[in-house]
Amino acid sequence: MGIGKRLLRGLFGALMKSGHHSALVWVLVDNPARYFYEAMSGRLVAERDKALWGKMLPQAAYGWPNLQPDR
């Protein structure tokens, strides 16, 4: 249906309008939906363990260094 793609593109548009030129999102490594960010051209830029819900959980960061669309 493309809802996630439209939401992420809308977010990126709002970020650019407010003067931001890059984005970063942290996701749980065990969440298979994290590959959506790779499909949206996000690059794995960092990993960490973070205490959430009373336990340490591995996370991955996906980044977009340039939110400007290719012309």
- How confident is the model over 31-65, as pLDDT tens digits? 998 999 999 999 999 999 999 999 999 999 999 99
Whether 71 has a pLDDT exceeding 60, the answer reads: no
| Strand ordering across the sheet containing 23-28 | 23-28, 55-64, 43-52
- In-domain check, residue 26: yes
> pTM (2 decimals)?
0.84
Range of the domain at 46: 3-64
- In-domain check, residue 69: no
State the Cα angle at 50 between 66 and 14, rounded to 5°.
30
| Half-sphere exposure at residue 25, Cβ-oriented, CA atoms within 13 angstroms | 17
The band of 68, judged by pLDDT with boundaries at 50, 70 and 90, is confident
Return the CA Rg of the chain.
Answer: 13
- Domain with 57 in it: what CATH number? 3.40.630.30
Q: What are phi and psi of 49, to 5 degrees?
A: -105, 135
Dihedral (CA of 25, 32, 39, 49) sign: positive
The band of 70, judged by pLDDT with boundaries at 50, 70 and 90, is low
